[in-house]
Amino acid sequence: MLRVAVPNKGSLSEAASAMLTEAGYLQRRDPRELVMVDPDNDVEFFFLRPRDIAVYVGAGTLDVGITGRDLLLDAEVEAEELLPLGFAISTFRFAGPAGQYSQLSQLAGKRLATSYDALLRRYLADNKIAATVVRLDGAVESSVRLGVADAIADVVETGSTLKAAGMEVFGNPIMKSEALLIGRPGVAAPAGLDVLIRRLQGVLVARRYVLMDYDIRKDLVETSAALTPGLESPTISPLRDSDWVAVRSMVPKKDTNRIMDELYELGARAILVSSIHACRI
Ligand SMILES: Nc1ncnc2c1ncn2[C@@H]1O[C@H](COP(=O)(O)OP(=O)(O)OP(=O)(O)O)[C@@H](O)[C@H]1O
Ligand SMILES: O=P(O)(O)OC[C@H]1O[C@H](OP(=O)(O)OP(=O)(O)O)[C@H](O)[C@@H]1O
Ligand SMILES: [Mg+2]
């Protein structure tokens, strides 16, 4: 039975379970449940703290898990990225009181608060910055105001938490993070892992693409197909009027309106867009 670690709390938890549900797996109803068997899919889910998931997968006691890239790198364990999952997208950045810092060299000799101390220490060493790391569990943005640090390194998404604390980012991002499926390198793929990965890829594609149908004059189909090339090749079907064809293709959801406008300009008509419920690519 495939043993899968799923975040039990925090930013990753709901989105991870939603994705597994969409992929056809059973998920817990009660947020206090720690373990759950999905007998139809032969998978056992373990609900754990996102920070600990890399530790279990790295130790080989669980086959795979869902966690953030920043947490994986901070854990310093033998686990690797199998599939990026497209949620919990954030950057890991330095920040300080507004107007105080503009470049990393100003961090020399300073106290830096973070929840990701291993990741930060490695970055400081790589960039030859000698600073003191203050490890905190969370709410790191308050540490400067409260006098335990001079600057911070933390997760930034919208930046609103930083702004509320009177802080701003400086320097390049230390890293970009998102939720990942992680596994152990160098071991034979456990039974059920290929199916899990294919299903999660199916969810990602269903979320990112729509299906576009339109009718177009036969002599314009090469030009329209260049706008809607699909993943492999668009489907072209005959219409009763032999001068026209029907085209069906997958297009990236974010480009839907631009592509519809361009197709209409070209002469396509009856342009219809439908969402993809599920797929295997
Ligand atoms: N506001 C956010 N937007 C996007 N991703 C985030 C955000 N906050 C955290 N993350 C990401 O979520 C993952 C886990 O962080 P999270 O803060 O949920 O864990 P935690 O700090 O252990 O939980 P909690 O904050 O509830 O104690 C990390 O990979 C992090 O990059
Ligand atoms: O840029 P923003 O959109 O404001 O998001 C970033 C904030 O979200 C996370 O905090 P979380 O709620 O997990 O609290 P924590 O710091 O206690 O972990 C993260 O640690 C930042 O504080
Ligand atoms: Mg947090």
Same-domain check for residues 149 and 186: no
Contacts (Cβ under 8 Å, ≥6 apart) of 247 = 213, 214, 215, 216, 221, 224, 225, 228, 234, 235, 236, 237, 268
The Å distance, Cα 61 to ligand 1 centre, comes to: 24
| Interface predicted TM-score of the whole assembly (ipTM), two decimals | 0.95
Same-domain check for residues 158 and 235: no
Same-domain check for residues 184 and 63: yes
- State if residue 141 touches ligand 1 by the CB under 6 angstroms criterion: no
The bridge status of strand 209-217 relative to strand 80-84 is unpaired
Residue 281: per-residue pLDDT: 84
Q: Is residue 80 part of a domain?
A: yes
Other C-beta atoms lying within 10 Å of the C-beta of residue 160: 9
Same-domain check for residues 98 and 23: no
Same-domain check for residues 16 and 51: yes
Contact 39, 59 (CB under 8 A): no
- State if residue 7 touches ligand 1 by the CB under 6 angstroms criterion: no
Contact 96, 167 (CB under 8 A): yes
What is the SS3 assignment for 245? strand
| Tokens linked to 217 | 């004059």
Q: Is residue 200 part of a domain?
A: no
For residue 6, which of 90, 88, 78, 66 has the smallest C-alpha distance?
66
Q: Is residue 201 part of a domain?
A: no
The Å distance, Cα 136 to ligand 1 centre, comes to: 14
Q: Which domain holds residue 187?
A: 2-88+178-191
Same-domain check for residues 219 and 146: no
What is the model's pTM?
Answer: 0.93
Task: Identify the domain boundary among 191, 221, 255.
Answer: 191
Output the domain CATH number for residue 159: 3.40.190.10
Cα atoms found within 13 Å of the Cα of residue 25, Cβ hemisphere only: 29
Same-domain check for residues 161 and 182: no
Residue 21: per-residue pLDDT: 97
Residues with CB under 6 Å of ligand 2 are 10-11, 138-141, 154-161
Same-domain check for residues 171 and 110: yes
Ligand 2 atom nearest to CA at 157: 1
Q: Which residues of the chain have pLDDT under 50?
A: none
Output the domain CATH number for residue 235: 3.30.70.120
Contact 54, 173 (CB under 8 A): no
| Tokens linked to 70 | 């920043």
| Tokens linked to 118 | 């291993």
Query: What are the tens digits of pLDDT across the range 184-198?
Result: 999 999 999 999 999
Longest CA span, the chain:
77
Integer-rounded Cα radius of gyration of the chain: 24
The Å distance, Cα 237 to ligand 2 centre, comes to: 51
54, burial (CB in 10 Å: exposed 0-12, middle 13-18, buried 19+): buried
